[in-house]
């Protein structure tokens, strides 16, 4: 019981790097650029992150990542062994899909049970189509499959070469690749990056989850 308690206490602590706006990470840099681009249009910002910032949903994204990919500091004595990828979870990817429901509310669904996107789909999901399909999902497995389908359909609108590099970096850092998709009335918005924060990069591959924030 003591070991189990320590395990869950650790997991709670591992959430904090994502919630910290001041740590060095691709996510924090992208959010900062998106904020600055609102007053300085010449600043290049990712369209998906800009959408989240404009809709005041960046905190939702942080919560989703904190739940889906908890990280451990690299100087933790158990880091190298406790978080080494195991066969069942080493290839997992985090997919976060966000959009506006019929009431105009930002909703965000996430899962770390997804896999590397495949270029086998030329059909993307519009905002209304995504929430229509979401209503039909009866289980978390259905939701994870829907997120995978959204990612596969959105990949042609992102940088496929960069997506492959994100997976390579993720294997190097023993963490998961992250894909954030914003469904719209037109083509989707996509951004991807390895789940790495300065001095915190090993992730808990034993935790498989699906949720909404």
Q: Distance between CA 12 and CA 96 in Å, rounded? A: 20
**Mean pLDDT, rounded, for 129-145:** 97
Classify 15 in phi/psi space as left (phi over 0), alpha (psi -120 to 50) or beta.
Answer: alpha
Beta bridge partners of 73: 200
**Mean pLDDT, rounded, for 42-60:** 95
3-class state of residue 194 by DSSP: strand
Q: Is the pLDDT of residue 38 over 80?
A: yes
Predicted confidence at residue 91, as pLDDT, reads: 74
Tokens for 181, please give them: 């998709």
Global confidence as pTM: 0.88
Contact 83, 205 (CB under 8 A): yes
Tokens for 56, please give them: 């005041």
**Mean pLDDT, rounded, for 176-183:** 96
Q: Is the pLDDT of residue 213 over 80?
A: yes
CA angle 96, 100, 105 (to 5 degrees): 105
Instruction: Mark 147-159 as b/e (b = at least 16 C-beta within 10 Å).
Output: bbbbbbbbbbebe
Q: What is the dihedral of CA 57, 213, 102, 128, to 10 degrees?
A: 90
Tokens for 175, please give them: 């963490």
Q: How confident is the model at residue 13 (pLDDT cuts 50, 70, 90)?
A: low
Parse the chain into domains and list their residue ranges: 2-212
Contact 105, 204 (CB under 8 A): no
- Range from 7-11, 28-32, 126-130 carrying the lowest mean pLDDT: 7-11
Q: What is the DSSP string of 102-136?
A: TTS-EEEEEEEEE----S---PPPPHHHHHHHHHT
């Amino acid at each position: 019981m003591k070991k189990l308690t320590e395990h869950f206490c650790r997991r709670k602590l591992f959430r904090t790097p994502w919630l910290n706006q001041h740590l060095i990470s691709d996510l924090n840099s992208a959010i900062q650029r998106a904020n600055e681009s609102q007053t300085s249009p010449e600043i290049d910002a990712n369209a998906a992150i800009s959408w989240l910032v404009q809709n005041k949903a960046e905190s939702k994204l942080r919560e989703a990542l904190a739940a889906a990919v908890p990280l451990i500091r690299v100087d933790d004595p158990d880091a190298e062994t406790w978080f080494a990828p195991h066969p069942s979870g080493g290839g997992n990817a985090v997919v976060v899909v966000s959009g506006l429901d019929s009431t105009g509310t930002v909703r965000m669904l996430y899962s770390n049970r997804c896999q590397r996107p495949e270029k086998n789909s030329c059909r993307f999901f519009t905002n209304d189509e995504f929430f229509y399909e979401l209503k039909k999902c009866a289980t978390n497995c259905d939701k994870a499959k829907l997120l995978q389908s959204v990612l596969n359909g959105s990949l042609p609108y992102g940088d496929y070469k960069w997506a492959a590099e994100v997976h390579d970096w993720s294997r190097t850092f023993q963490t998961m690749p992250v894909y954030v998709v914003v469904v719209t009335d037109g083509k989707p918005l996509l951004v991807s990056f390895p789940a790495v924060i300065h001095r915190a990069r090993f992730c808990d591959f034993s935790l498989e989850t699906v949720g909404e924030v």
